[in-house]
Amino acid sequence: MVLDKLGSTLRKGVTRIGNAIFLDKKLLDSIVKDIQKALIEADVDIELIFELTQKIKKLGLDENIKGIDKKEQLVTLIHDEIMNILGGEAKELQLKKKTKIMFIGLYGAGKTTNIAKIGFYYAKRGRKVCAIGLDTDRPAAMDQLEQMCEKAKIPCFVDKKEKDPLKIYESYKKDLDKYDLVLVDTAGRDGLNKELIAQIEKIDKKVKADLRLLVLPADVGQTAKTQATEFQKALSIDGVIITRMDGTSKGGGALTACAESKAPVYFIGVGEQIHEIETFNPRNFVNRLLGMGDLASLLEKVKSATDEKQAKRIEERLKEGKFTLRDLAGQLEQMNQLGSMDKLLSMVPGMGGAAAKIPKSELEKQEKKMSQWKSAISSMTEYEIENPESLEKQTSRIARIAKGSGTTTTEIRALLKQYKLLKEMMNMQNPEKLASGQIDKKMMQKIAKQMKGKVKF
């Protein structure tokens, strides 16, 4: 997927918001910092990033909004703001029954390739498409268009000898009338200069294109703003195709820059193959970046990851400095609802990073162990649950619990060991520090090591 780094950071941010027990300033700062870094890497304008993250912080720190409401509003804000900087609500490219599209852009932007891609795209959707080559500047331009159109299986009109694009057009005019979508290839330049403007205007006077689409490569990043604005001023373009989104991390910059210069992006190129083109719609794009079909299902996920009562309870427990097997069981329960071990780890502030380093097979093994531990806990007496230390060296009690829960004494001991470790962790941290995700590094390493199975249970 394009912009996958930005996507994974945003998904992580949203997940951390959903899973957070304490959504405080430190946690928020750390999420905002990650989002900022990812947006900078995607080459998004620093001012846009600043505005966006200020909004997240302002809402995040608003004392009047609490709990799940705040989580929902934050996720909605991130979703909507990213969608807005990508261009907001957008319409699909509207084609008339008969449409001529002229492709405009600098050298190597992707005009010729995208004529074939878009031709292929619309031909598949039932349009009668053809292409015409009017790039008489570059020697191999006609051959390239021919080859590309052959791949797309669309007819293509070229003249390898004629040097006047207007004459080429005139000679095929009657043929072109038979098609309902005509794609016009034009020559590029190193930069937008008077000569290119004059040439395009001259061709367009003849062709009378319904749409002029600017082709921009994604690797220009946010400088796309200058290009889009200049082309818009000089040639009144109707929209943009951003190509090579697959080969750069700067695509975010190109997309947001076009949105800023009010040039709608209609398509993005995501690979060299003929079918590797996608219609661009900011809403769908952001939904995909966030890893969800739509905002509603994203919010649903955030809601189901939130157990307000559980969070309150743990918060109180931590403040009291208490942590019993019941709390551990509660966490296991919540983890089971969420469905995976890494969620449990990310619920413990500061543990998200450790979870990411654990291989999946190991997590599955741990999940199985967790379910055994859960049945072990349910075979204990109230007193044992509240005071797990009382079980230490009590071989007969441990054997009873093992038997009652269909596990082994080794597993019960492992559970007690894990509990001790977690308790140690809780005790070592003051609650504020823990809430902000500042878990002692050594302790985190110790837990991560155990989870990795280096310490045998």
Ligand X SMILES: Nc1nc2c(ncn2[C@@H]2O[C@H](COP(=O)(O)OP(=O)(O)OP(=O)(O)O)[C@@H](O)[C@H]2O)c(=O)[nH]1
Give the residue at shortest CB distance from Mg ion. 112
136 scored as a contact of ligand X (CB under 6 A): no
Binding pattern to ligand X, positions 279-318, x when CB under 6 A? ----------------------------------------
Task: Tell me the two tokens of residue 398.
Answer: 């441990």
Residue choice 18, 110, 133, 330 for contact with ligand X (CB under 6 A): 110
Among 99, 112, 366, 372, binds Mg ion (CB under 5 A): 112
Taking CB under 5 A as the binding criterion, the range among 17-25, 106-114, 344-352, 449-457 that sits at the site for Mg ion is 106-114
Please pick, from the candidates 138, 319, 357, 417, the single residue that binds ligand X as defined by CB under 6 A.
138
E strands, 231-387, in order: 239-243, 265-269, 277-279
Coil, helix or strand at residue 90: coil
Token pair, residue 260, equals 């800023």
| 259 forms part of the interface with ligand X (CB under 6 A) | no
How many residues touch Mg ion (CB under 5 A)? 2
Query: Bridge partners of 192?
Result: none
Please state whether beta strands 265-269 and 277-279 pair in parallel, antiparallel, or not at all (unpaired).
antiparallel
Burial of 193 (0-12, 13-18, 19+ CB in 10 A): exposed
- # residues near ligand X by CB under 6 A: 22
Residue 193 or 304 having the CB closest to ligand X? 193
Q: How many CB atoms lie within 10 A of CB 238?
A: 18
246 binds ligand X (CB under 6 A): yes
Whole-number minimum distance, CB 91 to ligand X, in Å? 22
> Which of ligand X, Mg ion, none is residue 376 near (CB under 5 to 8 Å by kind)?
none
The SS3 call for residue 74 is helix
Per DSSP, 222 falls in state: G
In sequence order, which ranges of 91-140 are alpha helices (DSSP H)?
A: 111-124
- Does residue 264 belong to the site contacting ligand X (CB under 6 A)? no
User: Residues 6 or more apart from 262 whose CB is under 8 A from it?
Assistant: 232
Task: Please list every residue from 188 through 227 that binds ligand X, using CB under 6 A.
Answer: 188, 215
Considering only 19-27, 46-54, 150-158, 243-251, which stretch makes contact with ligand X by CB under 6 A?
A: 243-251
366 binds Mg ion (CB under 5 A): no
Among the listed ranges 73-81, 102-110, 197-205, 296-304, the one in contact with ligand X (CB under 6 A) is: 102-110
What one-letter code names the amino acid at 453? G
Q: Which amino acid is at 247?
A: G
- 177 burial level (CB within 10 Å; 0-12, 13-18, 19+): exposed
Residues of this chain that bind ligand X (CB under 6 A): 105, 107-113, 135, 138, 141, 188, 215, 243-244, 246-247, 269-272, 276
Binding stretches for Mg ion (CB under 5 A): 111-112
